Amino acid sequence: MWDNIEKYLPMFESAVLNFADTEGYPYSVRCRLEPDRAAGLLKLEHTNEDELTTGPASILCHSHDDKTWNQKIFVLRGNLERDDNGWAFRPEKFVPSIGTGSALDTVRMLTGMRRSAKTYLQKRDLPRPRIAWDEIEAAKKRALG
Amino acid sequence: MERREEANISGVAGESGGGAAPDGISLPSEVEAVFRGFRTCEFSTMTRSGVPVAWPLIARWRPEEGRFVLTTSIGLPMKAFNMRRDPKVSMLFSDPTASGIENPLAVLVQGDAEVEDEIHPGTAGVEDYWERIFTIQPGGAIYSANFLTRYMMDMYYMRLHIFVKPRRVLWWPDGDFEKTPRELEAGNVG
């Protein structure tokens, strides 16, 4: 996990920290992360500490270009902690996605999507829907001319 | 804390010139500019184990309905499962790439989501959403470009519709998260 964090985190200027607020709603802020592999922590920087609460949390790093393409995404699951040194995120799992895994990961993601869709339909005893390609093409034409 | 401006989102309608929904919801115009201009939001749902997990999604704000429309493919159904179990969600607009907005705010919307059971294999009912996708992400047109990509990617178009009704909106001027956010709470929205 830490090899991946050290490889991919520098690709992003900042990250999105997600935790639950006192009412149980997700709450997200953007922050900078300073890895401390020896301590197993990512120290939080440049965010308002008044907003934070300890507990289960996640990190999303993502970016895209001006055409919302060339995306890079990964997620970390873990816990938000506070000690005398301040606030930090303790990662427990690295979840690769577009642009942050191997070519094999991309193939796995695509086949995983197909498998998930098939399972979703089978569990509900639904036939595979026929895509309304005419509607898709019409929307495309309205958008792109 | 001084950040809460009003107990009800409708309270700022006259000052801001923001869009208004039928039930009186009104948002500052600079907040709505973010909703219209940002390409993606970081959309968070609560997992079964109680971890909020975010994913970048394209959202369409419908001021006339006072809610957002989003979709997810049944090939990526986890967020739908999460919302059916716990409808509490949030949407952070914090990446201004290609928005064209100078000194944009960062905006967090917390709200309640409704996920329809019906699987939609076309654009009916959310034509505005799909036009938005093709406009800002023209490369996505490749998924329906020919027989092979249609065969491989048909699940991309099998969508569940998601509607999010805001209950609380916070924003950080200049996108500076070191500042205390300003806030509108919509106790009677929806």
Q: What is the structure's pLDDT at B11?
A: 28
Q: How does DSSP assign B110-161, residue by residue?
A: EEEEEEEEEEESS-TT-HHHHHHHHHH-GGGGGGGSSHHHHHHHGGGG-EEE
Cβ contacts of B147 on chain A, cutoff 8 Å: none
Same domain, yes or no, for A88 and A51?
A: yes
| A27 strand-pairing partners | A19
Residues A131, A109 within the same domain: yes
CATH number of the domain bearing residue A58: 2.30.110.10
Number of domains in chain B: 1
Pair A10, A65 in one domain:
yes
Per-residue pLDDT of chain B (190 residues; tens, 9 = 90+): 445 554 334 323 333 344 444 355 578 999 999 999 999 999 999 999 999 999 999 999 999 999 999 999 999 999 999 999 999 999 999 999 999 999 999 999 999 999 999 999 999 999 999 999 999 999 988 899 999 999 999 999 999 999 999 999 999 999 999 999 999 877 534 3
Closest-CA distance, B169 to chain A, in angstroms, reads 11
Any domain includes B190? no
pLDDT of residue B129: 94
* Per-residue pLDDT, B187: 54
Same-domain status, A38 and A82: yes
Do A36 and A55 lie in one domain? The reply is yes
How far is residue A104's CA from residue B75's CA, in Å, rounded to a whole number?
18
Half-sphere exposure of A130 (CA within 13 A, CB side): 2
CATH number of the domain to which B17 belongs? 2.30.110.10
Structural domain that includes position A118: 103-144
Name the pTM for this structure. Answer: 0.90
Inside any domain, residue B75: yes
Residues A19 and A65 grouped into a single domain: yes
Q: How many domains does chain A fold into?
A: 2
Of A85, A73, A77, nearest to A8 by C-alpha is A73
- Which pLDDT value is given to residue B12? 33
Element (H, E) at A15: strand A15-20
The pLDDT assigned to A97 comes to 85
Chains A and B form CB pairs within 8 A to the count of: 197
For residues A136 and A73, membership in a common domain is answered with: no
Statement to judge: residues A91 and A115 lie in one domain: no
Residues A17 and A74 in one domain: yes
Question: Which domain does B134 fall in, by range?
Answer: 4-185
Q: Could you tell me if residue B60 is inside a domain?
A: yes
Do A86 and A124 belong together in one domain? Answer: no
Which residues of chain A have a CB within 8 Å of the CB of B136? 67-68
A52 at B interface, C-beta within 8 A: no
Do A8 and A79 reside in the same domain of the chain? yes
Q: Please tell me the distance in Å from A39's CA to the nearest CA on chain B.
A: 22
CB contact under 8 A, B54 and A58: yes
**Run means of pLDDT, 10 residues per run, chain A, 145 residues:** 94 96 96 95 88 95 91 95 92 88 82 96 96 95 89
CA torsion sign, B148 to B145 to A139 to B132?
positive
- Residues A92, A138: one domain? no
Q: Is the ipTM of this complex over 0.85?
A: yes
